[in-house]
Amino acid sequence: MIFPRRGWTSRGFNELSKVSDILVNGDYCWTIDWVEQFPGLEDGPMFRSERDQADGIIWRDKEGVSRKLSCNQVWKNLNFFGPKVPWFRLVWFNNNIPMNAFILWMAILGKLKTQDRVKSWELNGNLLCPFCSNVCDSHDHLFFSCEYSMQIWKHFHNKMGIIFILDNWNDLVNKFCNLVKGKSIVVLIRKLVLAGCVAHLWRETNARLFRNLNRNWQEVVSFIEHEIKVEK
Per-residue pLDDT tens over the stretch 21-51: 777 776 777 777 777 777 766 665 555 556 6
Last residue of a domain, one of 78, 105, 125: 78
Q: Is 196 a domain residue?
A: yes
- Average pLDDT, stretch 79-86? 78
Residue 172 main-chain phi, psi, to 5 deg = -65, -45
Q: What pLDDT, on a 0 to 100 scale, did the predictor assign at position 47?
A: 57
- Closest by CA to 192, choosing from 86, 109, 91, is 91
- Tally of domains in the chain: 2
Say how far apart CA 59 and CA 61 lie, in whole Å. 6
pLDDT of residue 109: 94
99 and 192 fall within a common domain: yes
Q: Is residue 220 part of a domain?
A: yes
Q: Are residues 51 and 114 in the same domain?
A: no
What pTM, to 2 d.p., does this model score?
Answer: 0.67
20 has a pLDDT exceeding 90: no
pLDDT at 230 over 80: no
The residue among 32, 52, 78 that closes a domain is 78
Q: Which pLDDT band holds residue 231 (cuts at 50, 70, 90)?
A: low
Between 40 and 107, the more confident residue is: 107
- Cα torsion 104, 106, 107, 108 to 10°: value is 90
Q: Is 151 part of a structural domain of the chain?
A: yes
Evaluate whether residue 40 is within a structural domain: yes
Considering only 11-20, 103-112, 126-135, which range has the smallest mean pLDDT? Answer: 11-20
User: Cα–Cα distance between 22 and 135 in angstroms, integer?
Assistant: 72
Position with higher pLDDT, 127 vs 176 = 176
Q: Are residues 182 and 95 in the same domain?
A: yes
Query: What's the pLDDT score for residue 165?
Result: 67
Helix (H) or strand (E) holding 58: strand 58-60
Q: Does one domain contain both 134 and 187? A: yes
Q: What mean pLDDT, rounded, does the chain reach? A: 83
| Percent of the chain clearing pLDDT 90 (strictly above) | 37
- Whether 139 contacts 168, CB under 8 Å: no
User: In this structure, is the dihedral angle defined by the CA atoms of residues 55, 58, 63 and 65, taken in order, positive or negative?
Assistant: negative
Is the same domain home to 22 and 122?
Answer: no
Predicted local distance difference test score (pLDDT) of residue 122: 61
CB neighbours of 62 closer than 8 A, spacing ≥ 6? 77
Q: Let me know: does 172 contact 178? Beta carbons within 8 Å.
A: no
Nearest to 144 by CA among 135, 136, 134, 154: 154
pLDDT band at 61 (very low <50, low <70, confident <90, very high): confident
| Cβ(199)–Cβ(100) below 8 Å | yes
Looking at 50, 78, 106, the residue that finishes a domain is 78
Quote the domain boundaries for residue 64. 5-78
